[in-house]
């Protein structure tokens, strides 16, 4: 008997702009920037943000598990907070892990990858198009020839010939044979029909030049008007961005909590997957990241009913 973890692949569509911030203010293009890949500078959603939100939302749907198994692990008697239960039959603690200080800890059986950008919406004179690149498609095991930096390949739904603008940038249309309809079945066909392929180098430039940037200001409660020097800007992945992430699920039968196998009589590995997906279902309503009260954060996971794509 071998331990073979399940690798469940999920696609997610941004229903609102998504802001997962770097945790501080900085001088530059915007005051509050979002998290990016170190090597490519392309925005992403960290796996920790996905896992933390999924844990909380899953606990909200399990009887008697919210808020103790959703939040911090250590008990706080002063606040009447019990901390994680750490029971081997608790789907939340087994799936996402727990820490009880001297009483032990457990890593959790579901490991979330970062959500990486696959299709990014951009305005063009041919209407909205979704930009991608060979490196992004390689994660989906889709091979393809990379266009030159000044070129773009377009799908059949993009009515452009000669040249195509992507925001302020004008590129030559190398071909209109870019077809992904049969290779990414979980992504809406309308997006695939309006997909365009650019080089890996240009992808990061196009994405960063077309992020959504909003300006807000704090209100002075004494006057009801804008507070002095309280203007700030923040950026976000725009609505209709498509991202991709994986959740690796290990089999509980190969682990022990105390002297018991986790979830032994409570569904085993399938219970771990269902718990993860219970949490993911509420992304569509409660969202991820920050600025949720300002119209941001909702994310629809597109292939939940399939238990993730193999």
Q: What is the pLDDT of residue 25?
A: 61
Mean of pLDDT over the chain: 91
Residues 175-194: tens digit of each pLDDT: 999 999 788 888 999 999 99
Q: What is the pLDDT of residue 24?
A: 66
Angle 163-167-172 from CA coordinates, rounded to 5°: 20
Q: What is the pLDDT of residue 27?
A: 57
Please count the residues of the chain.
310
Q: Is the pLDDT of residue 112 over 90?
A: yes
* Beta bridge partners of residue 116, listed in sequence order: 44, 244
Residues 194-205: tens digit of each pLDDT: 999 999 999 999
Share of the chain above pLDDT 70, in %: 96
Q: Is the pLDDT of residue 309 over 70?
A: no
Residues 28-74: tens digit of each pLDDT: 678 899 999 999 999 999 999 999 999 999 999 999 999 999 987 77
Residues 259-299: tens digit of each pLDDT: 898 998 888 999 999 999 999 999 999 999 999 998 999 99
Nearest to 279 by CA among 5, 1, 3, 12: 12
């Amino acid at each position: 008997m071998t331990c073979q973890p399940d690798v469940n692949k999920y696609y997610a569509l941004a229903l609102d702009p998504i802001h997962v911030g770097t945790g501080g203010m900085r001088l530059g293009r915007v005051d509050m920037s979002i998290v990016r890949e170190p090597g490519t500078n392309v925005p992403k959603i960290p796996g920790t943000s996905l896992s933390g939100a999924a844990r909380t939302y899953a606990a909200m749907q399990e009887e008697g598990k919210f808020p103790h198994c959703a939040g911090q692990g250590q008990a706080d008697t002063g606040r009447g907070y019990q901390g994680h239960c750490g029971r081997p039959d608790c789907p939340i603690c087994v799936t996402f892990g727990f820490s009880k200080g001297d009483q032990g800890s457990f890593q959790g059986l579901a490991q979330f990858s970062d959500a990486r950008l696959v299709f990014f919406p951009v305005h063009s004179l041919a209407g909205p198009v979704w930009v991608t690149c060979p490196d992004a498609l390689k994660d989906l095991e889709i091979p393809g020839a990379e266009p030159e930096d000044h070129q773009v390949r377009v799908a059949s739904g993009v009515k452009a010939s000669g040249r195509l603008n992507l925001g302020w940038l004008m590129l030559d249309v190398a071909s209109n044979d870019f077809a992904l309809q049969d290779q990414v079945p979980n992504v809406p066909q309308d997006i695939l029909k309006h997909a365009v392929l650019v080089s890996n180098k240009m992808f990061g430039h196009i994405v960063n030049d077309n992020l959504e940037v909003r300006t807000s200001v704090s209100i002075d409660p004494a006057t009801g008007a804008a507070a002095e020097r309280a203007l700030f800007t923040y950026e976000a992945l725009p609505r209709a961005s498509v991202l991709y992430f994986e959740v690796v699920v290990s089999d509980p039968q190969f682990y022990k909590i105390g002297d018991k196998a986790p979830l032994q009589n409570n569904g085993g590995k399938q219970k771990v997957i269902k718990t993860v997906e219970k949490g993911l279902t509420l992304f569509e309503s409660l969202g991820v990241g920050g600025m949720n009260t300002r119209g941001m954060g909702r994310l629809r996971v597109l292939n939940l009913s399939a238990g993730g794509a193999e």
